[in-house]
Amino acid sequence: MLKFDIKLKAEDLYRFYMYYMFTSLRGLLAPLLGVALLAYVLFSGKFTEGSSGIFYGIVAALMIVYSPIVLWFRARRLVSGENELAGTMHFCFTDEEGVHVKIDGIDFDTVLTWGDVYKAVMTKHNLLIFSGLRTAYIFPRDQITEEQLDEICRILRAHCLDFRLHLKGR
């Protein structure tokens, strides 16, 4: 049994959002189209044609920067105030049942069983344990020790199918 607490910061949630955005086709589509439109405007001579070139340039810039800015403000809002992610999360990993999760300040007490783990991904800053396609428990690596991280990876390998685990170097 492994127990520890996590207090999410806006940066942690933002990194999750950016990971999700840049690893899904839907998330990549707007920035890629924005870059393509910007390249078209710059290299086709449209930018020198006046208002239409400026309009397309502004649209392209918005397609590139809009999502990251919106995601940053959403992350800040969710980890502050009365929101469910503002409280301290208590995790208990067990070999038998799965991951017990409790959140301070709200009535949230659940168990993520090993069969319900969609995938687990290790990034530079977070360990993400997905319970669905778009939902994940975020474990910032700066809030857990290397020993705890090794133990979590051991437990995940023991209970989850290999193709669901993307644990670089663990």
- Whether 101 and 49 map to the same domain: the answer is no
- Whether 97 and 142 map to the same domain: the answer is yes
Residues 6 or more apart in contact with residue 142 via CB below 8 angstroms? 125
- Asked if pLDDT for residue 51 goes beyond 80, the answer is no
- Domain hosting 73: range is 14-78
Which pLDDT score, from 0 to 100, does residue 63 have? Answer: 87
Amino acid at 73: F
Residue range 46-58: mean pLDDT, rounded = 72
Which pLDDT score, from 0 to 100, does residue 131 have? Answer: 93
Per-residue pLDDT reduced to its tens digit, 79-91: 987 777 888 999 9
- Whether 124 and 74 map to the same domain: the answer is no
Q: Residue 159 and residue 138: Cα distance in Å, rounded?
A: 19
Question: How does DSSP assign 62-123, residue by residue?
Answer: HHHHHHHHHHHHHHHHHTSTTSGGGSPEEEEE-SSSEEEEEETTTTEEEEEEGGG--EEEE-
Per-residue pLDDT reduced to its tens digit, 131-158: 998 899 999 999 999 999 999 999 999 9
Whether 83 is covered by a domain: the verdict is no
Which pLDDT score, from 0 to 100, does residue 81 have? Answer: 75
- Whether 45 and 101 map to the same domain: the answer is no
Residue range 102-114: mean pLDDT, rounded = 86
Whether 48 is covered by a domain: the verdict is yes
Q: Which residue has the higher pLDDT, 49 or 76?
A: 76
Q: Residue 168 and residue 91: Cα distance in Å, rounded?
A: 22
| Local structure of 145: helix, strand or coil | coil
Tokens of 52: 């239409």
- Whether 108 and 128 map to the same domain: the answer is yes
Residue range 9-31: mean pLDDT, rounded = 90
Q: Where a domain ends, among 48, 78, 108?
A: 78
CA 68 from centroid of its chain's CA atoms:
12
The total number of structural domains in the chain stands at 2
Whether 3 is covered by a domain: the verdict is no
Residue range 13-31: mean pLDDT, rounded = 89
Whether 8 is covered by a domain: the verdict is no
Mean pLDDT computed over every residue of the chain? 89
